[in-house]
Amino acid sequence: MSQKGLILDRFIPYRLSVTSNVVSDVISTAYEALFGLSIPEWRIVAVVAEQDGITQQGVCIATRMDKVTVSRATIALVDRGLITRAPNRADRRSRLLALSEAGRRLYADVAPKAIEFEERIFSIFPADELDRFMTMLRAIEERALEVGTL
C-alpha cells in the first residue's frame, strides 16, 4: 500500500468518493425521473420508513448528511405531503418525522426499485464477495470515525 507521492486515482478515499458519487448519480437520475425525488429526499424517506418518529437530527446522524441538506429535503417532503412533523415531547425544539399515507405508498413503490438497482449494479459479484465488501465498508467507517481528523 505504501507508495511515494500521492496518485489521486490510487488514493482509496478518493476512489471511494468517486465510486459513491457515480452510483448515487445513476440512481439519482432514475429516482428523479420515476418519482421526482432527489437523493437526500429518498434517503430521508427511507430512514423515516425504517425509524418512524425520528427527528431531523436523527436523520443527520443516520445518513451522515448535513443539517442544511436534511432541512431543505424535509421541507420539500413536507410540502409534497410525503412526511409529517409532530411535536416531540422529549425535546420541544425538534419535531418527530413520520411518513404520511402518500409517503408510505411512495416508499412501497421506490424500495423495490432501489433493490433492483442494487442487484443490477452488484450482480456481477459473488454473494460472498459482497458480504466481505459490506464488512469492509462498515470497518472502514468505524475506523475513520476512530481516526477522526488529522
Provide the residue-wise pLDDT of the chain in tens; the chain has 150 residues.
555 789 999 999 999 999 999 998 888 888 899 999 999 999 999 999 999 899 999 999 999 999 999 999 999 999 999 999 998 888 888 899 999 999 999 999 999 998 999 999 999 999 999 999 999 999 999 999 899 865
Which fold does the domain 8-114+125-147 belong to in CATH?
Arc Repressor Mutant, subunit A (1.10.10)
Q: What is the 3-state secondary structure (H, E, C) of the chain?
A: CCCCCCCHHHCHHHHHHHHHHHHHHHHHHHHHHHHCCCHHHHHHHHHHHHCCCECHHHHHHHHCCCHHHHHHHHHHHHHCCCEEEEECCCCCCCEEEEECHHHHHHHHHHHHHHHHHHHHHHCCCCHHHHHHHHHHHHHHHHHHHHHCCC
> pLDDT at position 93, please?
85
Domain ranges of the chain: 8-114+125-147
